[in-house]
Amino acid sequence: MRYEEWEPVYHEICDYFSFDPAEDERAACILAGLTKQDASELLKRLIRGETVTVCGNAPSLSRELDRITGVVIAADAASEVLIRHGITPDVIVTDLDGIDDYAVELNRRGTILVVHAHGDNIPRIKRWVPLLNGPLLLTTQGKPFNHVHNYGGFTDGDRAVFLGQEMGAFEIKLAGFDLDDPDVTPMKRGKLLWARKMLSLCGYEL
């Protein structure tokens, strides 16, 4: 998705959650200053023409492992669930709030981390990014610049779907997406609402 198409959606999201676009921009600048890595071409070679499974972090993921085929993209903490079941994700899309030390080792061994900057995760950016020595792709929900990209999407899960489409996946399957989970905070409920809207833009009706 081109930024010109994404920008009005982004401003809707900012208004809904009272996010400050200036803080998103500041986070993206900090992220860009910590690494010059840009694994976009590597990611495109991995995904183009392939079947991809995007794994969300819903509790249902552990019951849907048989759906997983092809290139495996994990949304944030879904990566830990996959690892516990002997599945190594090829890509982790993360704003860094659901990963732990295992992600540093996976990245060192070649798992691509798609690291997202937003106004609320600056401390996590400063903590984790200097530890990541493997392939990285940097993203923002604001205007892209230099080696910081914006392919569209809001939550880790739906951003992974936008990413797969942008990189030319032949097919994208979903596992571990439960957008009707009643046992969540009001903030999380709002994010699930927007995740559903984002996935509908990608052609998924959940």
pLDDT in tens, 163-205: 999 999 999 999 999 888 788 889 989 999 999 999 999 999 8
- Domain residue spans of the chain: 3-201
Whether residue 28 contacts residue 148, with contact meaning beta carbons closer than 8 Å, is answered with yes
Number of C-beta neighbours around residue 25 at 10 A: 18
* Token pair in block for residue 11: 């401003």
Please compute the mean of the pLDDT values over residues 97-102 and round it to a whole number.
93
Confidence of residue 93 (pLDDT cuts 50, 70, 90): very high
Whether residue 74 contacts residue 55, with contact meaning beta carbons closer than 8 Å, is answered with yes
Q: In this predicted structure, what is the pLDDT of residue 55?
A: 98
To the nearest 10 degrees (0 to 180), the angle between helices 21-34 and 3-17 is: 120
Torsion angle in degrees (nearest 10) through CA of 128, 132, 14, 143: 140
pTM (2 d.p.): 0.96
